Structure 1
Amino acid sequence: MTITRRLILPIVMMAVVVLLGSCSSTKNIPYIQNSATVKLDSKELYDARIMPKDILTITVSTEEQDAAIPFNLVVPNSMSQGKTTSLSSQMTLQNYLVDNDGCVDFPRIGRIKLGGKTKSEAEKFIEDAIRPYLAANAGKAIVTVRMVNYKISVIGEVNSPGLYTVNNEKINIFEALALAGDLTIYGVRDNVKLIREDSDGQKSIHVLNLNDANLLNSPYYYLQQNDIICVEPNKVKAQNSSVGSMTTLWFSATSILISITSLLYNILN
């Protein structure tokens, strides 16, 4: 009876510790917990800026259709017909790769710098640049600039880590995590790392607290192209991983020892 009591007492104490630990950890699960006490800043709508190595499509349209042709780089599509190859009437716009100086080579007007500009600023800049080259009957030029490779990466303790393309060129931290299936129950929500590289190649790491509503006022709330979100595991997941590795190692060592012992027993007997 005494032995049974001695065994039960430690088990009960361990159960209480685990329950208390789990209760305390659930306090860090909800996002933006202090929303009632945070005043949200009123700012202009976020607009991404063009950076080196961005891939752009630039389309120029005019009232006189032929007047825009010199300003649109196109790549003819080839269609295979048996053993012959003919050019399709469908044309594909050629992409522009922004170089390390933030520049692209544009038809007729040459090298122009778009790095650091927003989409609307780049469109206005190109409109002004091509105006002297337009025919008198061309009418107003309409320039459309789009980023083809606007992407972010989400890794670590999320349900679907991966590289995600953003079609509307605007995404915040919560939308990025939603694309990745949200954090797992083991993800640390108050220590999410944002890895960013600026237009000069300078890398920086920023810590985001998803529990704090002040994040909505943070300059890192909206993500830039090529940002990396890293979610680290909590202590429970880390310890479980460590125990799992040690258990596997222990079983492997035990299996080897048993094999050696059996071999020696057979040899000596």
Structure 2
Amino acid sequence: MKRIKAYNIFSLIVTVALFYSCASVKKINYFQDLEPGVAEQTGAPIEIKIRPNDKISIVVNSKDAELSNLFNLPIVSHRIGTSSLSAGAQQVSGYTVDAYGDIDFPVVGKIRVAGLTRAEIAAHIKHTLITGDLVKDPVVTVEFMNLGFSVLGEVNNPGKFYIDRDGMTLLDAIGMAGDLTIYGKREAVYVLRDEQGEQVPYRVDLTSARQLYLSPAFYLQQNDVVYVEPNSVRARHSTVNGNNVRSTSFWLSLTSLLITITVLFVK
């Protein structure tokens, strides 16, 4: 009889452990609806459009280097760790878009760039230089300089990260932040986005590839804030003692007690 009771107690312990293990796996795995060989539909890549206060670099090249340099800002060098100009890493000066969405371009003057993509800005400047008979064969390159996004919450390396190309995704952001911690809520990742002066939240479920790929927040924009909500385990750990009926410490204590009782019954 004692052995039967001990067996029943041990079975209960194993059942509880397996239940919580299975529940945890379902909450941790990404892309649970993916099927091998089945393609998932994604939204069209979104190119970033320049906004006021963004900073961009614009470089004009042509066969006549002396002529094209008239349209380029000077190259400056900064010593790492200081703000003074000195011998060090060279970098191109940038244009900061003013409140009206314009930049002051050498020789040409004011150019409206707000609401345009990098390719559109490059094409517009190239057209202006050619039609104004300023440069016959210009090659215009536009790059981002201060555009970025922030990742907060339950990730391994939260912080601000810079956008160096179009088409950066939420998955890129999570990868740059070192992935979610074990306490990150996969089904509750938020992207806060500034849209016409208002903060618009988008909720993304990383356990569903279909929902993720079709989300308006899949492709990131400048100044986005990615926030990973903590799961219930982390929330419980944030209490004063964390020792309630649903806490990990409670179940560990209970398991230890049951094992002790099992040993006593066996004896």
Q: Percent identity?
A: 33
Superposed displacement of residue 18, structure 1: 6.0
CA–CA distance in structure 1, aligned partners of residues 192 and 145 of structure 2: 21
> Corresponding residue for 1:191?
188
Q: Within 5 Å, which residues of 2 pair with 1:46-195? A: 46-74=46-74, 93-135=92-134, 138-195=135-192
Task: Describe the shift of the 1:15–1:162 C-alpha distance in structure 2 as closer, same or farther (beyond 3 A).
Answer: farther
> Corresponding residue for 1:210?
206
Task: Describe the shift of the 1:78–1:168 C-alpha distance in structure 2 as closer, same or farther (beyond 3 A).
Answer: closer
Superposed displacement of residue 117, structure 1: 1.1
CA–CA distance in structure 1, aligned partners of residues 90 and 208 of structure 2: 50
TM-score norm. by structure 1 comes to: 0.73
Task: Describe the shift of the 1:235–1:163 C-alpha distance in structure 2 as closer, same or farther (beyond 3 A).
Answer: same
- For the 8 Å contact 1:74–1:92, the answer to whether it is kept is no
What is the one-letter code of the residue matched to 1:202? E
TM-score norm. by structure 2 comes to: 0.74
Query: Considering only CA atoms, is the larger Rg found in Structure 1 or Structure 2?
Result: 1
CA–CA distance in structure 2, aligned partners of residues 76 and 240 of structure 1: 50
Superposed displacement of residue 108, structure 1: 2.1
Superposed displacement of residue 115, structure 1: 1.3
Number of aligned residue pairs? 231
What is the one-letter code of the residue matched to 1:159? N
Stretches of structure 2 lacking an aligned partner (at least 5 in a row): 80-85, 245-267
What is the one-letter code of the residue matched to 1:170? G
- For the 8 Å contact 1:196–1:227, the answer to whether it is kept is yes
> Does residue 1:30 correspond to 2:29, yes or no?
yes
Superposed displacement of residue 42, structure 1: 6.2
CA–CA distance in structure 2, aligned partners of residues 42 and 156 of structure 1: 26
| Bigger fraction of residues in helix | 1
CA–CA distance in structure 1, aligned partners of residues 187 and 42 of structure 2: 24
CA–CA distance in structure 2, aligned partners of residues 206 and 92 of structure 1: 36
Task: Describe the shift of the 1:213–1:246 C-alpha distance in structure 2 as closer, same or farther (beyond 3 A).
Answer: closer
